Amino acid sequence: MREKFSSKVQSVNVYRSMFENALEGIFQTTPSGQYLSVNPALAKMYGYDSPDELIEKLTRIENQLYVDPYRREAFILAMETNGFVQRFESEIYRKDGSTIWISENARAVRDASGKIDYYEGMVEDISERKEALEQIAEQAAIIDIAPAGIMVCDFESNILFWNKGAESIYGWTREEALGRTIPDLLFPEEGPGKFIEILQAVLNDGVWEGEVHQRTRDKKKLVLESRRVLMRSVEGHPKSVLMINTDITEKRRIEAQSMRAQRLESIGTLAGGIAHDLNNVLAPILMSISLLRLTAKDKETKGVIDAIESSARRGAAIVKQVLSFARGVEGERTEIQPKNLFKEIDQIVRDTFPKNIELHVAIPHYLWTIVGDPTQLHQVLLNLCINARDAMLNGGHLTITAENRHLDEQDAATNQQAQVGPYVILSVTDTGTGIPADVLDKIFDPFFTTKASGKGTGLGLSMSMGIVKSHGGFITVYSEPGQGSTFRVHLPVETAFEISKRKTQPIGLPRGNGETILVVDDESSILAITSQALLAFGYKVRTATNGAQAVALYAKHQKTIAAVITDMAMPIMDGPTFIKTIKKIRPDVKIIATSGLHDDGSMTRATAAGVRYFLNKPCTTGTLLKTLQEVLNAPVQTKTNV
């Protein structure tokens, strides 16, 4: 009997020791919530000097001061209803007013009859864990709002993590990207071998930095500044690669544009010096021709002299072009009505161009007056027309148009050479072979030509650019391989002429009333600028980068979308197909079609589908807003040919 009693005493002592020395807080209360006992760990956790002080000050467990009073009610309700709580988390005030997060496990202990004898429980201080979780949540939020594409992949290039920034840059959602491989998803132009090479560098050095070239979901080229870091396990073993990619495509484009301008300026200076010296060399040769003819007796000698003269004159003509390019072209400037420039061009094209090239001239009755050299500007138009002719070896359509346009700040932001103000824009459009993207950046370089030997000097476009720049203007090009090209000459209106100034004063632009406009374009810069303009003038905007995406958006939000502005040339689903599809959903949908090309067939198909409003790219914000107001106020027409 004594041994059994001794054993019980020993067990009690063990439990007492565990109670006193436990790291977690332990408590017992009566069924009504009055504290019976608490251990030192709980007293310390709550900021009291001893268990007795805690019991004396708090008295009852419900007197515990919760930061959120609702948590007290929830705890009591759970105990009364279920007889227990598990991992009940709450924030409480300590004795000194500071707060901690705790997790409680408590249960009701019942006697043999099932009546609650007392409550007991354990309390754990989880403040550090909560703080760590909050930090993780904050870091995750920061990672998701970061504009850079942040990714993690394993050593087989499988994507393990994909943030919102990567979604924005590449167009792939997180769900679509996870599990795919980097070479499969991002179409690296360097090929998978480059990824393996970079991976090896990361494994060797722990980090790699450099520039990579990839593509978006829509196959658009990207230039990215990439930093890759080797991630290790707790044991220090390599486990994955963290990639942070920043889109610098636009930055590189602007840098290239600036470098090209500097290169042209340097070449112009050099070419000017060379041309000047060549003129000095050619002048005496040409002057000597006549003297040689006086002494020439036989036919063969005269033939040689004729050949020398022909070559010298051709050389002089080339030098003249070089000087025109290099010096920005000199000449007497007068007040010009631009439509007069087209009269002779029209006659030359109709008389000398192949008959399988059909000319269309669309010049408005009134154009603003400009100041310039009419001969030089005539030469620019002729050069562009000849360029268009050479791009249409099998015939096609040559379209010459002109328009008045007031460029605003957003328009000026898209081109380094543009200034805010009134311009007359002369456009030459062909339906020829188009210009490949890798050639487009070089076409204004002097002596650059894609024509066969003897077919061109490579100075026509560079000289045209020099003439236009000397007039304070600039030239833009829009081209799609196989679909033709449009060259637009922007000539500033001379504000010194007060009559022109009065006629070009900008007027107030129409504002929206909260209407939702769906904007569809595969060019991110155009999409962004159009959206910003509409938002600034009182509209709501939804955007899509291709026709298929736009159809899904329109089907979902057709009741709230007041009008649609769509590009005609897009990947996946083009503009005409998109228009035809949404007209099946809603025949009376109001649409504005946009295009950077004339006569490519898409506008004809859009017209056939019932579209009556068109805008040529690039257009001003004023033109966009006025056209949109006209569309929104137009009567509903449901009859279509789809």
Mean pLDDT in residue range 233-244 = 84
**The pLDDT of residue 40:** 92
Helix (H, G, I), strand (E, B) or coil at 369: coil
Instruction: Name 123's Cβ contacts closer than 8 Å, sequence gap at least 6.
Output: 24, 25, 26, 27, 42, 45, 102, 103, 104
**Centroid of chain to Cα 178:** 23
Mean pLDDT in residue range 48-53 = 90
Residue pLDDT, tens place only, 474-513 = 988 888 888 889 999 999 986 434 433 444 444 567 888 8
Residue-wise DSSP of 516-582: EEEEE-S-HHHHHHHHHHHHHTT-EEEEESSHHHHHHHHHHHTTTEEEEEEESS-SSS-HHHHHHHH
Instruction: Name 10's Cβ contacts closer than 8 Å, sequence gap at least 6.
Output: none
**The pLDDT of residue 503:** 43
Residue 245: beta bridge partners?
149, 226
Q: Is the CB of residue 87 less than 8 Å from the CB of residue 107?
A: no
Using CA atoms, how far apart are residues 388 and 434, in angstroms rounded to an integer?
9
**The pLDDT of residue 18:** 79
**The pLDDT of residue 567:** 86
Q: Where are the beta strands (DSSP E) in 144-234?
A: 149-153, 159-162, 207-215, 221-232
Task: Say which residue, 637 or 172, is predicted with more confidence.
Answer: 172
The secondary element (H helix, E strand) that includes residue 480 is strand 474-480
**The pLDDT of residue 296:** 75
**The pLDDT of residue 326:** 52
pTM strictly above 0.85: no
Indicate the pLDDT class of residue 518, thresholds 50, 70 and 90.
Answer: very high
Mean pLDDT in residue range 217-222 = 85
**The pLDDT of residue 391:** 86
Provide the mean pLDDT of the chain. 79
Burial of 501 (0-12, 13-18, 19+ CB in 10 A): middle
Task: Say which residue, 344 or 159, is predicted with more confidence.
Answer: 159
For residue 349, give the nearest of 404, 430, 425, 460 by alpha carbon.
430
Which stretch of 232-236, 400-404, 480-484 has the lowest confidence by average pLDDT?
232-236
Compute the C-alpha angle 144/542/512, nearest 5°.
130
Using CA atoms, how far apart are residues 400 and 345, in angstroms rounded to an integer?
10
